[in-house]
Amino acid sequence: MRIAVLTDIHANREAFEAVLADVAAHGVDRIALLGDIVGYGPDPGWCCDQATALVAGGAICVRGNHDNAAAGAAEAMSTLARKALDWTRDRLGDGHVDFLASLPLTAEAEGVLFVHASASHPEDWSYVTSDTKAIPSFRATTARLILCGHVHVPLLASCDLGGMVREQAFRSSLPIPLLPSRRWLAVVGSVGQPRDGVAQAGWALVDTARAELTFRRTPYDVQTTAAKVRAAGLPEDLAVRLLQGK
């Protein structure tokens, strides 16, 4: 099965649309959204509607910390995120809030665990930023592959037969073989707010039959999104961040 994995869309319609078009061009069997559909960006309503439609069509979708906060939960957040969240809440309808509140924290399919942040206590939203930080996730599940987001910077780690967890260097666009002798964890890059210095939407393609994972980048109309952020009166830093990809 070929699964397109999208995470941290953050209400960026242009990026979301561009990735969905790229996904369609690649031909996949299923789509998985790893949360943070809203927050930061100027199109929360549209992105929620799109996610709802995808879930109705069979997509997997788990809840992120911004989704949780938008649905009314109290979440500790940075000032920037807090400002954007207050703006977002005013623009979501009841339907949107219900959808976000209904999302599970984790999902499992084809031996793959889907989660927004660390697989260990997902509700704590711990960042997986290194091999050391990936260890609790490997301990929390027996899944062969853990896919998460939250960090906005892609990362790949493996856990070998001896239980040693190591970060693995990788290159975008090239299929990485997920050796069956190891368990794997991939932090997928952000669709709507990449922070690794590349102002292109990040996502990943998983092929469970071939046991391969490919980190992908899709260019999108970042100028338009940045203009919308400014027009909406959202903090300027959010526009700059999109333009710079960091």
Partner 1 sequence: MQLRPHEGLQIDGFTLGEKLHTGGFATIWAVTHPDHDLPMVMKVPTILDGYDGPTIVGFEVEQMIMPRLSGPHVPKVIATGGFDVMPYIVTEMIDGGSFLPVFQKAPLPLSDVIEIAARMVAAVADLHRQHVIHLDLKPENFLQRKTGEMVMVDFGLSRHDQLPDLLAEEFTIPMGTYPYIAPEQYLRCRDDPRSDLFALGAMLYALATGRNPWGTPETLRGVRKRLWRDPEPPRAIRPEVPEWLQEIILRALSVDPMRRYQTAAQMAFDLSHPQQVALTARAHKVRRDGWLQVFDRWRVMRKIRRFTAPVSVAAQLASVPIIVVAVDLSPQGERLAEVLLRAVKRMLTIEPDARIACVNVIKTARIGLDQGTDDQGNNLHVVRLVQLKAWAGGIDLPDHRLTYTVLEGPDPGQAIIDYATANGVDHIMMGARGHSTTRRYLGSVSAQVVAEAHCSVTVIRLREGGAAEPAAPPLVEAVPA
> What element of type H or E holds 13?
helix 13-26
Q: Which is nearer to partner 1, 53 or 164 (CB)?
A: 164
**Number of residues counted as binding partner 1 (CB under 8 A):** 18
User: CB of 167: closest distance to partner 1 in angstroms?
Assistant: 9
Q: How far is CA 100 from CA 73, 110, 170, 176, in A?
A: 11, 24, 33, 32
* 153 beta partners: none
Please report, as a single letter, which amino acid is at residue 51.
A
Q: Does 129 bind partner 1 (CB under 8 A)?
A: no
Site string for partner 1, 157-196 (x = CB under 8 A): -x-xxx-x-x-xxxx--x-xx-xxxx--------------
Query: 3-state DSSP call for residue 241?
Result: helix
> Are 76 and 107 contacting, i.e. CB atoms less than 8 angstroms apart?
no
The pair of three-digit structure tokens given for residue 158, joined into one six-digit string = 């493996």
User: CB of 6: closest distance to partner 1 in angstroms?
Assistant: 23
User: CB of 130: closest distance to partner 1 in angstroms?
Assistant: 13
User: CB of 1: closest distance to partner 1 in angstroms?
Assistant: 20
CA distance linking residue 189 with residue 8, whole number of Å: 8
Q: Which is nearer to partner 1, 33 or 155 (CB)?
A: 155
Residue 208 backbone phi and psi in degrees, to 5: -70, -30
Residue 130: which residues within 8 A CB-CB, separation 6 or more? 155, 167
Q: Which is nearer to partner 1, 139 or 166 (CB)?
A: 166
Residues 195-214, interacting with partner 1 (CB under 8 A): none
CA distance linking residue 119 with residue 156, whole number of Å: 15
Q: Does 144 bind partner 1 (CB under 8 A)?
A: no
Q: Is 210 exposed, middle or buried (0-12, 13-18, 19+ CB in 10 A)?
A: exposed
User: CB of 186: closest distance to partner 1 in angstroms?
Assistant: 12
User: CB of 180: closest distance to partner 1 in angstroms?
Assistant: 5
Q: Which is nearer to partner 1, 76 or 169 (CB)?
A: 169
Q: Which residues bind partner 1 (CB under 8 A)?
A: 156, 158, 160-162, 164, 166, 168-171, 174, 176-177, 179-182
